[in-house]
Amino acid sequence: MILYKNDIVKFTELVSSHTKTFLLLDENTEKYCLNVLKSVDFQNVIKIVIPSGEQNKNIGTVQHIWSQLVDNHADRKSLLINIGGGMVTDIGGFAASCYQRGIDFINIPTTLLGMIDASIGGKTGIDFQGLKNQIGLFSQPLAVVILFEFLETLPKRELLSGLAEIIKYGFIVDKSFLEAKLLSYPSYPPYPSYPLYPQFIEKSIAVKDEITRNDTTEHGRRKILNFGHTIGHAIETYLIDNHEEIRHGEAVALGMVPALFLSEKYFNLDPNWTLYYKDLYAKNFNRFNLNDIPVDELIEIMRHDKKNEGGDIRFVLIEDIGKPVYDVVVKPEDIVESINYLVDYQSDENYWGK
């Protein structure tokens, strides 16, 4: 159930039907986001604060959450409210779903990526042994509460990360999402709570909700949401393991370049779309120096991806805009070629004017 600001009464009713309420926050959402909820009268609330960042989406942090639940006598009628970006909603959903075989949780996403993607659809989990989301389960939140005010403190880089997932919807669902772009954005907070035209955020939420409600455990159409993720996830995993900064959406933005290249090769996608996206990327997203990235290691990471079976590496590709094809087995030599294409693009001065 997606709730907006006008549904706040419904939200308070949901909360009050539980014996005890726990709020899961990271240090930034504790600092910036709690005050947005000050009008909500939480009773018997206990805060659990975890360190922010993907490097903390791990079993150690889950243990900390479970310890806090045990120490504060959480029972099966307790509620965990996850207030944060995808890191907090992924780990909080996982911790709640395992605690005493599952307690209710509500997601209150505070990043753009969280609002339009991570908090919706019931994928919960943590990273393990250097592999993203390796441990986890499908478990639906009782509700997802969308409050755009949170975006007023969100740094531009986090916003761009969300923008990448919105643009992804342009390739797999509806061309109009390709027109999403940040409105004029100041360097310092407060940022605008509608950094994009509102329709892009609300339509994105509706798309993610519709696709995941009709395929809760990703056996079919839901797989299209992984467009750009096969190589994107591998790059994200590799860079984080090597202590380099990359946001989830930035990795997806990169991963869409080889996905389009492969779509040309496997499905004769009009090459103009790849050129169009390379321009769009250069105008919006950060450039990464990928010259030293070890392609064989990326392929090894991809082999561990949950979406693959029997050693094959599977991609979501597109035949045309809005016409995705999932479970496409791509030959390793083609994957290498597509990564080299991405690396060359990121070092092509014609695009970056430097």
Phi-psi region of 112 (alpha: psi -120 to 50; beta: other; left: phi over 0): alpha
Binding mask 296-325 for ligand NAD (x = CB under 6 A): ------------------------------
User: In this structure, what token pair is assigned to residue 278?
Assistant: 């390379």
Binding mask 122-151 for ligand NAD (x = CB under 6 A): -x--------xx----------------x-
* Minimal distance, residue 175 CB to ligand NAD, in Å: 22
Known catalytic residue: 156?
no
Contact between 87 and ligand NAD per CB under 6 A = yes
The C-alpha atoms of residue 352 and residue 111 are separated, in whole angstroms, by 28
Q: Which of 132, 168, 203, 208 is catalytic?
A: 208
Known catalytic residue: 300?
no
SS (H, E, C) 8-49: HHHHHHHHHCCCCEEEEEEHHHHHHCHHHHCCCCCCCEEEEE
Q: Which of 6, 38, 101, 283 is catalytic?
A: 101
- Which residue among 3, 21, 52, 235 contacts ligand NAD (CB under 6 A)? 52
- Cβ proximity to ligand NAD: between 37 and 269 the closer is 37
Contact between 88 and ligand NAD per CB under 6 A = yes
DSSP run (H or E) holding 125: strand 123-128
- Cβ proximity to ligand NAD: between 104 and 264 the closer is 104
Q: Residues 345, 257: contact at Cβ < 8 Å? A: yes
The contacts of residue 238 (CB under 8 Å, 6+ apart) are 293, 294, 297, 298, 301
- Which residue among 90, 104, 264, 305 contacts ligand NAD (CB under 6 A)? 90
- Which residue among 2, 14, 33, 211 contacts ligand NAD (CB under 6 A)? 33
Contact between 117 and ligand NAD per CB under 6 A = yes
Contact between 255 and ligand NAD per CB under 6 A = no
Contact between 248 and ligand NAD per CB under 6 A = yes
Short-list 166, 179, 178, CA closest to 208: 166
- Cβ proximity to ligand NAD: between 150 and 227 the closer is 150
Q: Given CA atoms 95, 241, 116, 110 in this order, what sign does their dihedral have?
A: positive
What are 45's strand-pairing partners? 21
Using CB positions, name the residue nearest to ligand NAD: 86
- Cβ proximity to ligand NAD: between 133 and 274 the closer is 133
- Cβ proximity to ligand NAD: between 210 and 270 the closer is 210
- Which residue among 74, 142, 158, 259 contacts ligand NAD (CB under 6 A)? 158
Q: Given CA atoms 286, 291, 293, 299 in this order, what sign does their dihedral have?
A: positive
Q: Residues 187, 157: contact at Cβ < 8 Å? A: no
For residue 213, the number of C-alpha atoms closer than 13 Å in the C-beta half-sphere is 9
Q: Which of 223, 229, 247, 278 is catalytic?
A: 229
Q: Which one of the spans 116-124, 198-206, 290-298, 330-338 is the region binding ligand NAD (CB under 6 A)?
A: 116-124
Short-list 129, 134, 169, 20, CA closest to 81: 20
Q: Residues 207, 169: contact at Cβ < 8 Å? A: yes
Known catalytic residue: 218?
yes
> Using CB under 6 A as the criterion, which residues of the chain lie in contact with ligand NAD when the complex forms?
26, 28-29, 32-33, 52-54, 57, 84-88, 90, 110-111, 113-114, 117-118, 121, 123, 132-133, 150, 153-154, 158, 161, 247-248
Active site residues: 101, 123, 165, 208, 218, 222, 226, 229, 233, 248
